[in-house]
Structure 1
Amino acid sequence: VMKTRIRERSLAQGLSKSRLPEFTESEKQRIKGTFDFFGFNHYTTILAYNLNYASAISSYDADRGVASVTDRSWLGSGSFWLKVTPFGFRKILRWIKEEYNNPPIYVTENGISERGDLGFNDTWRIHYYKSYINEALKAVVLDGVDLRGYTAWSLMDNFEWATGFAEKFGLYYINYTDPNLPRIPRESSKYYSSIILCNGFPDPANGPHLCLQPHASSGKVQFLGLGLTSLNAEIGLYVLFAFALMGVLGLVLFSYKYGKLSKRLFTIFDLIKELEEISS
Structure 2
Amino acid sequence: MKFPPGFKFGAATSAYQIEGAWNASDKGRNIWDSMIHKNPSIIEDGTSGDVTCDSYHLWREDVQIAHDLGLHFYRFSISWTRILPTGFPNKISKDGVRYYNKLIDELLKKGIEPIVTLYHFDLPLSIQNLGGWTNPLIVDWFADYARTVFLMYADRVKTWVTINEPMIICDFNYNVGNLVPQITEEFLGPFICNKNVLMAHAKAWRIYDENYKEKYQGKISIANNPIWLEAQTEKDEELSERAREFGVGRYSDPIYSKEGGWPPTIEKIMAEYSKKQGFPYSRLPSFTDEEKKLVQGTYDYFSLNHYTSRLVRSARADEDPGLWYISGSRELNLVLEKDPQWPKTDFVYIVIQPEGIRRQIAWLNKRYHNLSILITENGLGTRSSDNYDTGRIHYIRDHLKQILLAIKEDGANIVGYTVWSLMDNFEWMFGQSMKFGLYDVDFSHPLRRRTPRASAHFYRNVIKHHSLDVPHPSHHWDKYRKTYNNGVTIKYSNCFLVLLVLLEHIICKLLLN
Quick check: 1:37–1:104 contact (8 Å CA) kept in 2? yes
Q: Percent of pairs identical after alignment?
A: 35
Q: Is the 8 A contact 1:2 1:64 kept in 2?
A: no
Once the two structures are TM-superposed, the CA of residue 69 in structure 1 deviates from its matched residue by 1.1
Letter in 1 for 2:430: T
Is 1:97 the counterpart of 2:97? The answer is: no
**Counterpart code for 2:349:** W
2:420 match: secondary structure: coil
Matched residue SS, 1:151: strand
**Alpha-carbon RMSD:** 2.4
Which 5+ residue runs of structure 1 have no aligned equivalent?
Answer: 205-216, 219-280
Name the SS of the counterpart of 1:47 in structure 2. strand
Offset of residue 53 of structure 1: 8.8
Aligned to 1:48: 312
| CA displacement at 1:52 relative to structure 2 | 7.5
User: Aligned pair 1:33/2:301, yes or no?
Assistant: no
Residue 107 (1) aligns with residue 371 (2): no
**1:50 CA displacement:** 1.9
- Length, aligned pairs only: 203
Is contact 2:462-2:470 (8 Å) kept?
A: no
From 124, 149, 155, the counterpart of 2:416 = 149
Cα 1:81/1:58, change in 2 over 3 Å: closer
> Whose radius of gyration is greater, 1 or 2?
1
Shift of the alpha carbon at 1:98? Answer: 0.8
Partner of 1:15: 279
List per-residue Cα deviations over 1:244-273 (Å, max 9, x = no partner): xxxxxxxxxxxxxxxxxxxxxxxxxxxxxx
Give the TM-score taking structure 2 as reference length.
0.37
> What TM-score comes out, normalization by structure 1 length?
0.67
- Secondary structure of 2:440's counterpart equals strand
Cα deviation for residue 115 of structure 1 reads 0.5
**Matches of 2:312 and 2:401, distance apart in 1:** 25
Contact 2:401–2:468 at 8 Å: present in 1 too?
A: no
Q: Sort the Cα spacing of 1:16 and 1:70 in 2 relative to 1 into closer, same or farther, 3 A.
A: same
State whether structure 2 residue 190 is matched by structure 1 residue 190.
no
Aligned with 2:369: secondary structure?
coil
What's the CA shift for 1:15?
2.1
* Structure 2 SS opposite 1:14: coil
How far apart are residue 14 of structure 1 and its match? 2.6
| 2:11 aligned partner | none
- For residues 289 and 356 of structure 2, the distance between their equivalents in structure 1, rounded to whole angstroms, comes to 34
1:115 counterpart letter in structure 2: R
Distance in 2 (CA, whole Å) between partners of 1:71 and 1:62 is: 21
- Match in the other structure for 2:240: none
Q: In the alignment, is the contact (CA less than 8 A) between 1:53 and 1:62 conserved in 2?
A: no
Match of 2:44 in 1: none
Q: Letter of the aligned partner of 1:11 in structure 2? A: K
Of 62, 68, 76, the match for 2:330: 62
Which runs of 5 or more residues in structure 2 are unaligned? 1-264, 472-511
> Which residue in the other structure is 1:160 paired with?
427
